[in-house]
Amino acid sequence: MTPLDKVKSLSCWRGPVRAVPLGGGITNVNFVVQDGADRAVVRIGDDIPVHHILRFNELAASKAAYAAGISPAVLHHEPGALVIDYIDGRTMTAADLRDDGLLDQALSLVKRVHRDIPRHLHGPSLTFWVFHVIRDYARSLQAGGSLHSAALPDLLAEAAELERAVGQIDMVFGHNDLLPANFMHDGARMWLVDWDYAGWGSPLFDLGGLAANCALSQHQEERMLMGYFGALDAALWRRYLAMKAAAALREMLWSMVSELHSELDFDYAAYTATTHSTYRLAQDALRHV
């Protein structure tokens, strides 16, 4: 059964539907579906253990995010499919989120994820510790005979240094995939979508990931940390930079693993090169403090 066949076969529709592929997904296959006068977004995807994606966790986080007013409603779910309410809005870009006003709105959502979602979360929930993910990605790359295998020992050594620099953490419930495309704006407010990697971890991962993915300036990063923590000192700045580098490293390894395992039509090799540059910039910033 093709993803489109899967969409059309879902039991939630009131009659024949029209489904149009929704571009931009690099983990799932997504569609916008017209069901009578209503529209919905359908995400097609099974568990992806190599990426630590388990759909029960995505579903629970999606429901909690809706209850917290952060994400659109879950309308229906079946094995391999998640149907969510359609948001008539614009997908954010990195350039958008470098605007101070829009960045403030994004940061407000991130703070609400960390603070409010745990109040609405039901059932088992995963932990997201970036350094475990990095080590596990390295094992997958070695086992799969990746072209990047020769670089892994040095990358793992760098990751160990970053983990020591991060030190002890406060634990929050994080989104853990703050790519610009996961933020949407409907003209009145911002939304956050796609809960594949949601789980318990450090707030610094979301903040560092947001900064790395949007190429924020140092001034914007300092402003973001002040807005989140209310204060910023040299120790926090160094811990943040270490986690930002770890977030960039994880994104690069994610792309390397996807080169081996993903069947989606996406240029993962080019994305690996882009994320490698992001990681090296983050490492350079840390080395200069």
pLDDT tens, residue by residue, 85-95:
999 999 999 99
pLDDT for position 226:
96
pLDDT for position 101:
96
Q: pLDDT class for 264, splitting at 50, 70, 90?
A: confident
**pLDDT, average across residues 132-155:** 98
pLDDT for position 65:
98
Q: Which residues contact 226 (CB under 8 A, 6 or more apart)?
A: 232
Q: Which domains does the chain have, with CATH numbers?
A: 3-85 (3.30.200.20), 90-287 (3.90.1200.10)
Give the chain's mean pLDDT. 96
pLDDT for position 176:
98
Q: pLDDT class for 164, splitting at 50, 70, 90?
A: very high
CA-to-CA distance for 93 and 35, rounded, in angstroms?
A: 29
**pLDDT, average across residues 252-280:** 95
Residue 172 has pLDDT above 90, yes or no: yes
For 43, the token pair is 């995400």
Task: Read off the amino acid at residue 165.
Answer: A
Residue 12 has pLDDT above 90, yes or no: yes
CA-to-CA distance for 99 and 252, rounded, in angstroms?
A: 25
Asked whether the beta carbons of 216 and 224 are under 8 A apart, the reply is yes
Residue 110 has pLDDT above 90, yes or no: yes
Q: pLDDT class for 140, splitting at 50, 70, 90?
A: very high
Residue 13 has pLDDT above 90, yes or no: yes
pLDDT for position 79:
95
Residue 97 has pLDDT above 90, yes or no: yes
Question: What does residue 169 show for φ and ψ, rounded to 5 degrees?
Answer: -130, 155
Residue 25 has pLDDT above 80, yes or no: no
Q: pLDDT class for 28, splitting at 50, 70, 90?
A: confident
Residue 23 has pLDDT above 80, yes or no: no
pLDDT for position 103:
97
**pLDDT, average across residues 96-124:** 97
Mind listing the pLDDT tens digit for each residue in 181-237?
999 999 999 999 999 999 999 999 999 999 999 999 999 999 999 999 999 999 999
pLDDT for position 263:
85
Residue 177 has pLDDT above 80, yes or no: yes
**pLDDT, average across residues 127-151:** 98
The radius of gyration computed from the CA coordinates of the chain, to the nearest angstrom, equals 19
**pLDDT, average across residues 149-174:** 97
Q: What percent of the chain has pLDDT above 70?
A: 99
**pLDDT, average across residues 88-117:** 97
Whether the CA torsion 146, 51, 169, 221 is positive or negative: it is: positive
For 155, the token pair is 């990358």
Residue 15 has pLDDT above 90, yes or no: no
